[in-house]
Amino acid sequence: MPQGYDHKYTYSHAGYNLKITDMQAACALAQLDKLPTFIT
């Protein structure tokens, strides 16, 4: 690491990005409108 580098931005292990995309959000909203018909 360069001298003076801020170590709070280094990652010790891999993780997951679980944020949904705009397209996934749009599909989810469309499905939520149909939720009452899924339940009955």
Q: Is 1 inside any structural domain? A: no
- Residues 39 and 31: beta-carbon distance below 8 Å: no
CA–CA separation, 16 and 9 (whole Å): 16
Give the range of the structural domain holding residue 11, as residue numbers without chain letter: 7-37
Overall domain count for the chain: 1
Tell me if 22 is assigned to some domain. Answer: yes
Domain annotation covers residue 27 = yes
pTM > 0.75: yes or no: no
2 within a domain of the structure (yes/no): no
Residue 15 lies in a domain: yes
**pLDDT tens per residue, range 1-40:** 667 777 777 777 788 878 999 999 999 999 999 999 988 7
24 assigned to some structural domain:
yes
Residue 14 within a domain: yes
